[in-house]
Amino acid sequence: MTDQSTGGLPAEEQREAVSNGEAKTSAESLENLIDDSHSAAMFDPSKKPVLTVTDLKMHFPVKSSGLLRRTVGHVKAVDGVSFELREGQSLGLVGESGCGKSTTGRLITRLYDPTEGSIEFEGRDLAKLSQRQLKPRRRDIQMIFQDPYSSLNPRHTVGAIVGAPMVIHGTVPKKQVLKKVQELLEVVGLNPEHYNRYPNEFSGGQRQRIGIARSLALQPKVLVADEPVSALDVSIQAQVINLLQDIQKEFGIAFLFIAHDLAIVRHFSPEIAVMYLGKIVEIGDRESIYKNAHHPYTQALLSAVPDIKQAQTGGRRERIRLEGDVPSPVNPPSGCHFRTRCPIAKEICSVVEPPLLQIDQRHKVACHFASEVGHAPERPVTAPLLGVDEYGAPDPGASPAEIPGDGPGYADTWYDLANNTRGRA
Amino acid sequence: MTTPGTQVELANPHTGEEGATVGKEVVSKSPMRLAMERFRKDTLSMISLVVVVVYIIAAASAPILVAVGVLDPFTYNQDLLNEYGVAAGPYGGISAEHPFGVEPRAGRDSLARVWYGISFSLSIALVAALIAIVIGVVLGIVSGASGGWVDAIIGRIIDLTLAFPQTLMLLALSSVALAFIIEVLHVPGSEGSPLPRFIYVVGVLGLFGWTTTARLVRGQVLTLREREFVHAANLVGASRMRVYFKEILPNLWAPILVSFTLMMPAFVSAEAAMAYLNVSVAPPTPTLGNVLTDSLSFVSSNLTYFIIPAVLIALVVVCFNLLGDGLRDALDPKSGR
């Protein structure tokens, strides 16, 4: 964002460059390996939402030790997450370890039972269905797992692994399962003759392809990809990402792409949500997040990504360093969850929780002082909307207004930060 | 140390992402093959395997040999005994006709008695071990995979079983239990039939021996159920039974096999102990246990008669244990000795 460091200390600059060297080469090689036919996916607002998640919460009980095992607290792994997933589009979910992104994926696939909230899919609320009612719906939402070494049963053949969903759901007559398995293996770029081999005979990348073939077996409409490439080598990562893009184009599957690698998410997902401690702090299309981030956490996250293009021109962004650790999700900070590590936090942040405020056509941010780096406003932009004063105390004179963009999707009107007025498309 | 993955990785460039045909010199080794190779290198385990196999062949052949009349464990040979009722010849009456000598008092052939006894001892241990393994594995999987109150209840059942005074029950309830087996279950209990006592011994060993297997399996299941392939099965809506017995169970056969091989010697020696307490299968039907018990009264006058069953029991127990240890080392190379 600034190239002020070009005239800075050369020695320190060099040290920085060395420490970033490894990361830079890996990011660079990834860019090179993703060939031209697999350009970054584009956002298409004309597509209808296929999955709508509203205020989803997952609180895991913490039990006391001893005989009675009373519930003494809750791990608020996911604490009110809302978003929309559009037909054949991809939403990237990023955040550091333990922020609840994997839990969100497992809630949508109902591996966990949500504490609160709704998951609307084709007019049904999946969050309220029992496991029995859910079974016929399961074929529409499938998942690609993170670890290709633990996601395939070592005692089953590839044919049995890929064929199991079809056998369980009875979608394919028993005699044709093998033929269908071989078709799927071919789709994911494996030799169809290898159906009677065991997973241990394949490499990590090949195993992940088997996992992808299994997830496609029921022809799902939504695929949750839980860090599908983070366990793979960079060169293999690119191959798998290309495969996922081909599959998305060919079958029109909507992806919830969970990752911590911002370069991959940027390539794969036209829309990105940033999570911190169980909440979405910023969500928007690729341009809004990567070029115009307004949440201090997103800004810090992005500043940690090595940028080849800026390195080539000699410029370097200023690194925003976050102090301390992520607070415990058992007892998250009051008000804004990020305030304990936020460089621009003020009194209001500990009192009032910032709402997810829409600030552009497709850009929402949850911060009282939403702004570009180094331009934090003096007064909280959200205070007038919430009906509080700048310290977070209720302001009897103010009239609380409707929060623009409140809900899983994007509204037609939004709050214009520059003029403190409502904007319109 | 060779772990299952490493040699396979070496074979992989030939199977390549493009799916090139595998060259003949490249052998992809399954974890099973690797385990067998490790086992073959272990001399002690191989020796015990041979001994165990000899015992099994002996046990399987004994009833046939008795039926065709080659072995005769029941005929009395009073003429081979001296006036004190002990074998007449030196070393317990060893002769070409009776290579292990004859037993005191009745003069039955010792070789035939212990050979046929191996058959009964091993079949008691085998049936009891199978019962214990089935109960232990089923309860262990259900307990580990379902968790919550089911786990708690099964855990308490295990505790209760372990706390139960087995020996006391063996002695106090044996007559009641035998009457129950004969009267209620209508097992033919006519004079000399070993069946009711066989059922009693097997029942006691099987119903009290499953606890360690259940705990072992439960522990394994606790780690397996968090593996992603179990989530993947849940994700496609697999039934609980399918997850338990098709996804989890095949991954448990190594510890189950080891636990089975270690249970066999424990039950062989437990049978001997029960024979000493006079609750096992009774003479004239021989078991290693009751032959040994019988020999104890003649230790001073006929040592051979005592040494033979004692050595046979010790050998089978030691070799089964060594085999079990060897299997564990071969199947799970990560766990050190």
A246-275 confidence digits (pLDDT tens): 999 888 899 999 988 888 888 889 999 999
Residue B18: pLDDT over 50: no
Which residues of chain B make contact with A218, given a CB cutoff of 8 A? 236
Hey, is the C-beta of A140 within 8 angstroms of any chain B C-beta?
no
Residues 93-132 of A with CB under 8 A from B: 106, 109, 111, 131
Looking at per-residue pLDDT, the higher value among A92 and B75 belongs to: A92
Cβ–Cβ under 8 Å, residues A143 and A112: no
Question: What does the alpha-carbon distance between residue A422 and residue A360 come to, in Å, rounded to a whole number?
Answer: 10
Interface contact A203-B28, CB threshold 8 A: no
User: Looking at residue A11, what is its pLDDT?
Assistant: 45
Amino acid at the residue B123: S
Cα–Cα distance measured from residue A144 to residue A215, given in angstroms and rounded to the nearest whole number: 6
Which residues of chain A lie closer than 8 angstroms to B4, CB-CB? 200
**For tokens 């029941």, what's the residue?**
B74
Does position A348 have pLDDT exceeding 60, yes or no?
A: yes
pLDDT higher than threshold 60 for residue A85: yes
pLDDT digit string, tens, across residues B300-329 = 778 888 888 899 999 999 999 999 888 888
Chain B residues within 8 A (CB-CB) of chain A?
4-5, 8-9, 11-12, 15, 17, 19, 28, 30-31, 227-229, 231-239, 242, 247, 250-251
How confident is the prediction for chain B on average, in pLDDT?
81
A169 Cβ under 8 Å from any chain B Cβ: yes
Beta strands A90-94 and A254-258: pairing type? parallel
Residue of B nearest to A171 (CA): B236
In chain A, the N- to C-terminal Cα span, in Å, equals 27
For position A275, what pLDDT does the model report?
A: 92
Flag if B15 and A142 touch (Cβ within 8 Å): no
Cβ–Cβ < 8 Å for B133, B102:
no
Mutate to test the interface with B, among A153, A166, A208 (most CBs of B within 10 A): A153
Closest Cα of chain B to A139: distance in Å? 7
The DSSP result for B105-137, as a single string, is TT--BHHHHHHHHHHHHHHHHHHHHHHHHHHHH
Q: Is the pLDDT of residue A42 over 90?
A: no
B35-331 fold: MetI-like fold (1.10.3720)
Chain A residues close to B234, C-beta within 8 Å: 111
Report the 10 Å Cβ neighbour count for B5.
Answer: 12
Q: CA-to-CA distance for A418 and B124, rounded, in angstroms? A: 87
Q: Which residue has the higher pLDDT, B68 or A28?
A: B68
Please give the backbone phi and psi of residue A209, each rounded to the nearest 5 degrees, phi first.
-65, -40
Confidence of residue B19 (pLDDT cuts 50, 70, 90): very low
Asked whether the beta carbons of A184 and A216 are under 8 A apart, the reply is: yes
Side chain identity at B211, as an amino acid letter? T
Pick the closest to residue A355 from A313, A295, A425 (CA basis): A295
Distance CA(B142)–CA(B162), nearest Å, equals 19
**B263-303: pLDDT as tens digits:** 999 999 988 888 888 888 877 888 888 888 888 888 877 88
Cα separation, A167 vs A160, in Å, equals 9
CA distance A387 to A370: 17
Span A349-404, pLDDT tens digits: 888 888 888 888 888 999 888 888 877 888 888 877 777 777 777 777 666 677 77
Q: In this predicted model, what pLDDT tens digit does every residue of B93-121 receive, in sequence order?
A: 677 777 777 777 777 888 888 888 899 99
- Return the domain boundaries, chain B: 35-331
Give B242's contacts in chain A (Cβ within 8 Å): 168
The verdict on A63 touching B (C-beta cutoff 8 Å) is no
The side-by-side arrangement of strands in the sheet containing A357-360 is: A141-144, A222-226, A254-258, A90-94, A271-276, A279-285, A363-365, A357-360
Instruction: Encode A262-295: b = buried (16+ Cβ within 10 Å), e = exposed.
Output: bbbbbbbbbbbbbbbbbbbbbbbbbebbbeebbb
ipTM attached to this prediction: 0.78
Task: Give the pLDDT confidence score for residue B317 in this predicted structure.
Answer: 92
pLDDT at A422 over 70: no
For residues A264 and A241, what is the distance between their CA atoms, to the nearest angstrom? 8
Backbone angles phi, psi at B310, to 5 degrees: -60, -45
Q: How confident is the model at residue A327 (pLDDT cuts 50, 70, 90)?
A: confident
Q: Give pLDDT, residue B24.
A: 47
Confidence of residue B240 (pLDDT cuts 50, 70, 90): confident
Poorest-confidence range of A401-415, B163-177, B231-245?
Answer: A401-415
Q: Confidence band (pLDDT; 50, 70, 90) for A282?
A: very high
Q: What is the pTM of this model?
A: 0.77
Average pLDDT score over chain A: 82
Which residues from chain A sit within 8 angstroms of residue B229, using beta carbons? 150-153, 161
Residue A17 above 60 pLDDT?
Answer: no
Judged against a pLDDT cut of 80, whether residue B82 lies above it is answered with no
pLDDT-based confidence at A3, cuts 50/70/90? Answer: very low
Q: d(Cα A275, Cα A283) in Å, to the nearest integer? A: 9
Q: Which residue of A lies nearest to B26 if distances are taken between CA atoms?
A: A201
Contact A169 B237 (CB under 8 A): yes
DSSP 8-state symbol, A394: B
pLDDT tens across B135-148, in order? 999 999 999 988 88
Of B28, B242, B250, the CB nearest to A201: B28
Q: In chain A, which among 201-240 make CB contacts under 8 A with chain B?
A: 201-203, 205-206, 211, 214, 218, 239
Q: Which of A111, A169, A190 sits opposite B19 (nearest CB)?
A: A190
Among B210, B124, B204, smallest CA distance to B171 is for: B204
A329 to A71, A274, A338, A343, B321: CA distances (angstroms): 15, 17, 12, 21, 49
Interface test with B, best of A155, A161, A237, A242 (most B CBs within 10 A): A155
Confidence at residue B254, expressed as pLDDT on a 0 to 100 scale: 85
Please tell me which residue of chain A has the smallest CA distance to B254. A155
Strands A271-276 and A363-365: unpaired
Q: What pLDDT shows up at residue A2?
A: 41
Site of tokens 């089978």: B316
CB–CB contact B237 A134 (8 Å): yes
Instruction: Quickly tell me which residue has 């990562």 as its tokens.
Output: A237
Please return the burial class of B288, using the count of CB atoms within 10 Å of its CB with bins 0-12, 13-18 and 19+.
buried
Between chains, do A202 and B15 touch, taking CB under 8 Å as contact?
Answer: yes
The interaxial angle of helices B195-209 and B166-183, nearest 10 deg, is 140
pLDDT in tens, B193-223: 788 888 888 988 898 889 999 999 999 999 8
A142-184: per-residue pLDDT in tens?
Answer: 999 988 888 998 888 899 999 999 999 888 888 899 999 999 9
Average pLDDT on B246-273 reads: 89
Please state, in angstroms and rounded to a whole number, the distance separating the CA atoms of residues B185 and B181. 5
Res B107: pLDDT: 74
pLDDT of residue A424: 61
Note the pLDDT of residue A103.
92
